[in-house]
């Protein structure tokens, strides 16, 4: 057994304030020191690197070690972030707001952070209870704070947690981007190198925000799309996916005048075990099965689903051709519905623009052009989308929508739900449905179809090997589609979006984009096509999907 690794583990145990992770690590150390190869490998995995702090903050599996989410790592992150904020404030007293969701250890990590921020001389404000991520993003702007921290792993597996960071001031409450991420990471590393987190100053003199902050978010979000006078007559189903969205959304519905939904009771309250789903992400197969069942019984008009921290929204509609009679709309379909809504409202404003990430539907550019608005294509992530000039709406195909940029500069599944309710009520008023609105999108802006191939791996080297293979031996075609041009965004020039992304364009306007996920062990491939009819566009995407699967099998 590597003696240095054992020494690192024992030093970690000495500073760990959590008896569970101390005991967990002690058992592994004992076995590894005794020559157990599995324990030695486990120890190496936990300490061979640090869980990286980047533009998504921290996110990873709970457990002991520098390559896991735990109280030691969070203490180092909080102290390092405090140091960064003090330096950025040039002698002032920075204010930081801390929120948390219902995952395991979220409240503990949030309280640790509040005590460490206060101990470092910052004004620390802890939100009053577990709340959706959009409420924290709102609070940063509403309170004029210098920064915000949200303890959440969003829709990751149950044993994950994370640490998402926002900046106020000139960043307007957006998530961090370079060079702030590297600067914060360097400050965190300095704390880690100094040793014992138990020596860091702590204080219980942090503030707990009043309910007024939640009420302010509710008022602002209810104003996104108030219900029409006389009611809507709609029947719809809602699931919180075992997360924190329901209480806040329910209050907003009352304030905005919408009927309360038929709820999926088994998934309504926060539950860190996510007991009814194998993966708490509305995009994953099976995650919405209970909602589909409830909707069939209720003869509902549509389904809305938030992910566990309520920053994403899924929408499903009745569809006789789908298995079970219900179909979840793609993020691109919802994005174009909401984009069209925003574009109609902003028409005539020469400063207004729409934005989406480069992996999202090119249909949003057609919507912007149709209404005479600006359009911006960004790198993946709302840290980029939220910074688009003149933004009135932004979206990403992974069920993320920014519909109220003057209130929340991040994806917000609750305000997006209110906007969808407004569209559904408007459609119902003229005898139409959400399905009607989707068909009208094609008639107005052109027929776009999209798809995705997502490959989850246990070994991240598989992803890097596939990306290397595609760069070294570029494919000439995908399915029956010849490749007209290929772009490697790692080779992007000055001022251009750059990243680990490969983009292939076909002569008919179709495109395929390949990239590693930034938050999960997945390789993601995005497919987009435009055609004269919805059927032709869907057929083109199906052919691309078959070609991509064959290509990945060949290169894996």
Residues that are catalytic: 154
d(CA 329, CA 284): 13
Strand partners, 376: 355
d(CA 7, CA 285): 43
d(CA 196, CA 300): 56
* Contact predicate 242/276, CB 8 Å: yes
Can you tell me which residue has the tokens 């005991």? 23
Strand partners, 98: 126, 149
Is the sign of the CA dihedral 367, 370, 372, 378 positive or negative? positive
Three-point CA angle 345, 351, 357, nearest 5°: 80
* Contact predicate 100/109, CB 8 Å: yes
* Contact predicate 422/434, CB 8 Å: no
Of 493, 9, 412, residue with least CA distance to 224: 412
Residue 553 neighbours by CB under 8 Å, 6+ apart: none
Mapping DSSP onto H, E and C, the string for 384-436 reads HHCCCCCEEEEEECCCEEECCCCCCCCCCHHHHHHHHHHHHHHHHHCCCCHHH
Is the sign of the CA dihedral 216, 221, 224, 227 positive or negative? negative
d(CA 481, CA 80): 50
Q: How far is CA 549 from CA 242, 458, 484, in A?
A: 33, 18, 20
């Amino acid at each position: 057994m590597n003696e240095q690794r054992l020494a690192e583990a024992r030093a970690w145990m000495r500073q760990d304030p959590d008896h569970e992770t101390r005991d967990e690590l002690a058992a592994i150390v004992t076995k590894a020191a005794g020559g157990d190869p599995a324990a030695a490998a486990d120890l190496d995995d936990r300490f061979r690197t640090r869980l990286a702090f980047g533009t998504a903050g921290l996110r990873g599996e709970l457990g002991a070690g520098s390559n896991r989410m735990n109280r030691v790592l969070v203490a180092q992150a909080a102290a390092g972030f405090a140091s960064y904020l003090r330096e950025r404030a040039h002698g002032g007293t920075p204010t930081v707001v801390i929120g948390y969701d219902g995952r395991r250890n979220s409240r503990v990590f949030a309280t640790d952070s509040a005590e460490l921020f206060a101990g470092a001389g910052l004004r620390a404000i802890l939100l009053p209870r577990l709340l959706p991520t959009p409420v924290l993003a709102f609070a940063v702007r509403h309170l004029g704070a210098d920064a915000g921290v949200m303890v959440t792993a969003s829709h990751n597996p149950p044993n994950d947690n994370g640490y998402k960071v926002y900046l106020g001031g000139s960043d307007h409450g957006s998530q961090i981007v370079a060079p702030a991420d590297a600067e914060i990471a360097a400050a965190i590393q300095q704390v880690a190198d100094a040793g014992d987190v138990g020596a860091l100053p702590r204080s219980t003199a942090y503030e707990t925000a009043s309910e007024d902050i939640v009420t302010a978010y509710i008022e602002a979000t209810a104003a996104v799309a108030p219900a029409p006078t006389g009611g809507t007559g709609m029947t719809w189903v809602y699931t919180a996916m075992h997360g924190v969205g329901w209480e806040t959304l329910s209050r907003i519905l009352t304030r905005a005048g919408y009927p309360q939904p038929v709820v999926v009771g088994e998934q309504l309250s926060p539950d860190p075990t996510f007991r009814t789903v194998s993966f708490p992400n509305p995009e994953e197969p099976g995650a919405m099965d209970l909602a589909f069942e409830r909707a069939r019984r209720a003869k509902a008009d549509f389904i809305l689903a938030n992910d566990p921290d309520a920053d994403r929204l899924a929408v499903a509609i009745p569809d006789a051709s789908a298995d079970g009679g219900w179909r979840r709309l793609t993020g691109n379909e919802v994005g174009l519905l909401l984009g069209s809504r925003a574009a109609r409202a902003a028409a005539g404003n020469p400063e207004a623009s729409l934005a989406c990430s480069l992996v999202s539907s090119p249909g949003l550019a057609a919507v912007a052009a149709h209404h005479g608005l600006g359009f911006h294509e960004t790198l993946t992530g709302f840290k980029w989308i939220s910074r688009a000039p003149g933004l009135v709406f932004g979206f990403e195909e992974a069920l993320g929508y920014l519909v109220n940029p003057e209130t929340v500069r991040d994806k917000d599944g609750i305000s997006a739900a209110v906007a969808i309710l407004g569209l559904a009520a408007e459609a119902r008023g003229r005898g139409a449905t959400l399905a009607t609105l989707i068909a009208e999108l094609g008639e107005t802006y052109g027929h776009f179809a999209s798809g995705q191939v997502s490959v989850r791996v246990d070994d991240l080297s598989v992803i890097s090997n596939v990306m290397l293979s595609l760069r070294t031996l570029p494919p000439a075609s995908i399915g029956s589609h010849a490749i007209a041009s290929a772009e490697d965004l790692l080779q992007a020039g000055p001022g251009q979006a750059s990243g680990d992304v490969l983009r292939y364009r076909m002569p008919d306007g179709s495109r395929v984009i390949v990239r590693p996920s930034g938050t999960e062990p997945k390789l993601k491939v995005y497919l987009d096509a435009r055609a004269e009819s919805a059927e032709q566009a869907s057929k083109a995407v199906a052919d691309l999907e078959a070609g991509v699967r064959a290509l990945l099998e060949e290169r894996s």
